[in-house]
Structure 1
Amino acid sequence: MRQTWRWFGPQDLVSIEDTAQAGVEGIVSALHHVPTGAVWTPEEIVRRQDEIGRMPDGRPSGIAWEVVESLPVSEDIKKQRGDWRAHVEAYRESLRNLAAAGIEVICYNFMPVLDWTRTDLAWKLPNGATCMRFDLTDFAAFDLHILERPGAEDDFDEPLRDAASERFAGMSEARKQELAKNVVFGLPGAAEHFTLADVREHLAEYAKISEERLRANLVDFLEQVVPTAEELGLRLCCHPDDPPVPLLGLPRIMSTEAQYKAVMDAVDRPANGITLCSGSLGARPDNDLPGMMERLGDRVHFLHLRNVKRETPDIRGSFYEAEHLGGDTDMVALVEAALREEARRKAAGRADTNIPFRPDHGQDILDDLKRQAQPGYPAVGRLKGLAELRGIIAALEPRVSA
């Protein structure tokens, strides 16, 4: 398994030197400043490679950009409206430019409107650490009373609606603004930031798009870009919905094993693959992560290893970002399944034997609390997670490869 680390670019408060000291083997990054739907030019790609390839003082870092996360898919493509065909062509051109630069793994997602969704970006734990959290009652309060989405009442049962109304009534104005910002502002460093008005407009446009229609649009997109990726020797990998349940009345199509299998079968080519994110998928109690790795592993091109602690047994419920070995996913079993997949690939003579993974998210601990880097991406918290994952790999790898 190849150890990688996400880096958001020169504005990231966790530097390339920090990354080098963490001992990772490669970098996961993206051109967040390029507008969604535009071509990633060779010049911009090389600039990011150069930024990764040197320390802040100019010395060589010894590490390289190995995984793209993410090459974003535009809302026009997802809805098949407006300039979607031009955006698909721009996507294919970006793939060509990335291949020419030597980058082979391209992560993307097909989540409508919002990327990941959380209600708290720095929820305080009993030990003083902070983490990201999704509180279903807070989210219902946002949907019902801040966004005021038409039809939202139908998505929550009466006890939850009552709890959300009570929660909202007790919120300060500052907390209401913070909650709205947390939910709609998307990934730090991304080119797209939505206002409440933007979200309402997008939701209205999705009102007539069913789960089946959105899946068909994804398949149409993949039928156009996967052959290009395959010709170039690239591996595309779709990130799951986060959280993996319907939100804001929007369809979700990459939340379960069955949904992933449907898309893999529809475009049954090796370049059409999976980013298996144990945190996103693990927020649902009915997702069997080690089993998914065993059954779908030949199409897993990238791994996000993180853990969440579910606060209820329901399919849709509250959860928080746990320590990498402290949540509800059996991380030891998942890593063992990944190592077995690597052994199968080696026996089959595949070139992609080593699956890149990164310690996804992390709790803010120690100096992280002063640094205040991107939510979910602290230096020490992720390093702690990476150290734990390295320990699992070191213990299991000799046994699995024997």
Structure 2
Amino acid sequence: MKKLLQTWRWFGPQDAVTLDEIKQTGAEGIVTALHHIPCGDVWEKEEIKKRVDAIEEKGLKWSVVESLNIHESIKTGAVQRDEMIEKYCISLKNLAACGLKVVCYNFMPVLDWTRTHLKYTLKDSSEALRYYAPALAAFDMFMLKREGAEKDFSKSVRDKAAIYFEEASNSEKERLQNTIMAGLPGTDEVFSIPEFQQFLNIYKKIDHAKLQENLKYFLERIIPTAESVGIKMCIHPDDPPFSILGLPRIASNENDLKAIVEMVDSPSNGITFCTGSLGANPKNDLPGMIARLGKHIHFIHLRNVKWEDDGSFHEADHLNGSVNMFAIMWGLIKEQAKRNASAKAVVDIPMRPDHGHQFSFDAGRNFYPGYSAIGRMRGLAELRGLESGIRGMLSFT
């Protein structure tokens, strides 16, 4: 049986990690996107082909598109959405014409994944990404000053937030704002508070149900195109998997993901199974989700988190956090065995080591947050070993 297809996220020519270095990690596939094209614009075949050729020249393959981003007008149901959906469909057709068959996307309002700290120091002096709930609450209540924000936090978190804000220097508050207000991965965009407030005003009229409705509208129009050209769409879970800053979240748990795959019944309507995003909520049963939703998984992000008592979390070693990576890998291998037996589904599911710690080996290199070289290479090696060990164990049973 084929193993999981090992891939690596690359942000394009501007990425500090080169394709030559990626090839030496043992990864076979590249996960990338045309980040230089503004969200909402069509990805033309010529631009896609340039990226395909650059990757193939190094003996690698562009395996997954992450991400063909969704324009805000689609998420909010604005008058421009039909035009943007039509452009999206054209981009899908162009990707398929160039051999791309898996497209990861998310439906998180305004912001992509959100953290409060990008350089949280661990015991071994490496640096990790962290979501510190009191810091987020301090920003929400005292800097953004969102109406009703205090109702979203427990008294304990509110008290810690007040202390955090009182003790934080001006530079720390500026760093916190810039970290939370960061735009899409692969860009240097940072929203100002007035810019972000404009989005919050729009989303005042959009709750969980309305955002779900807008996603269904989108899927009903793009999935037939995706299916006709052989593309598998896979939604990325919300990160973190709960509402922040008053914005709705609709891809945070099993019920959400089940509702999404049922919106349009098609093999092209699937899931990116991200263990770090879903794993940040202790209530999410990740092995169970694989067992029940496995046939809808088209792409895998493997990452671990360590829970903290107040709802905070930081990104841990890939095999040493609160998420049971052994049980997850076991479940993925079982799902792959089902596909192999049925001969009806894609067997070599692409996976990538998601995020990684910043080690001293990589000091001085300007990586995108979470996307260091050595940290992810360590993660890939650990995950590769875990998969190999489980497969070896199963061969003796």
- Match for residue 322 of structure 2 among 328, 335, 342: 328
Per the alignment, residue 368 of structure 2 pairs with: 374
| Structure 2 residue runs without a partner (length 5+) | none
Counterpart secondary structure, 2:360: coil
Instruction: Confirm or deny that 1:346 pairs with 2:349.
Output: no
How many aligned residue pairs are there? 393
Instruction: Confirm or deny that 1:388 pairs with 2:382.
Output: yes
Counterpart secondary structure, 1:367: helix
Per the alignment, residue 25 of structure 1 pairs with: 28
Once the two structures are overlaid, the 10-residue window that deviates more, 150-159 or 126-135, is: 150-159
Quote the Cα distance in structure 2 between the aligned partners of 1:310 and 1:159. 16
- 1:345-366 deviation line (CA, Å, top 9, x unaligned): 1111125111100000011113
Once the two structures are overlaid, the 10-residue window that deviates more, 368-377 or 104-113, is: 368-377
The CA RMSD measured in Å over matched residues stands at 1.4
Instruction: Confirm or deny that 1:201 pairs with 2:207.
Output: no
Quote the Cα distance in structure 1 between the aligned partners of 2:263 and 2:33. 28
Output the TM-score relative to the length of structure 1.
0.95
Quote the Cα distance in structure 2 between the aligned partners of 1:381 and 1:296. 30
Contact 2:219 2:263 in 1 (8 A): no
Quote the Cα distance in structure 2 between the aligned partners of 1:187 and 1:250. 16
- The equivalences for 1:85-104 within 5 A come to 85-104=82-101
- The equivalences for 1:209-220 within 5 A come to 209-220=206-217
- The equivalences for 1:180-329 within 5 A come to 180-190=177-187, 193-312=190-309, 317-329=311-323
Quote the Cα distance in structure 2 between the aligned partners of 1:331 and 1:238. 21
Counterpart secondary structure, 1:371: coil
Distance 1:153 1:351, change over 3 A: closer
State the percentage of identical aligned residues.
Answer: 49
Once the two structures are overlaid, the 10-residue window that deviates more, 155-164 or 176-185, is: 155-164
Contact 2:112 2:185 in 1 (8 A): no
Once the two structures are overlaid, the 10-residue window that deviates more, 367-376 or 348-357, is: 367-376
Output the TM-score relative to the length of structure 2.
0.96
- The equivalences for 1:35-46 within 5 A come to 35-46=38-49
Per the alignment, residue 48 of structure 1 pairs with: 51
Shift of 1:6: 0.1
- The equivalences for 1:97-112 within 5 A come to 97-112=94-109
Q: Which amino acid aligns with 1:396?
A: I
Once the two structures are overlaid, the 10-residue window that deviates more, 345-354 or 85-94, is: 345-354
Per the alignment, residue 9 of structure 1 pairs with: 12
| Structure 1 residue runs without a partner (length 5+) | 54-59
Shift of 1:191: 7.4
Q: Which amino acid aligns with 1:11?
A: Q
Shift of 1:161: 2.1
Shift of 1:399: 4.5
Quote the Cα distance in structure 1 between the aligned partners of 2:47 and 2:391. 38
Distance 1:212 1:143, change over 3 A: same
Per the alignment, residue 118 of structure 2 pairs with: 121
Contact 1:274 1:299 in 2 (8 A): yes
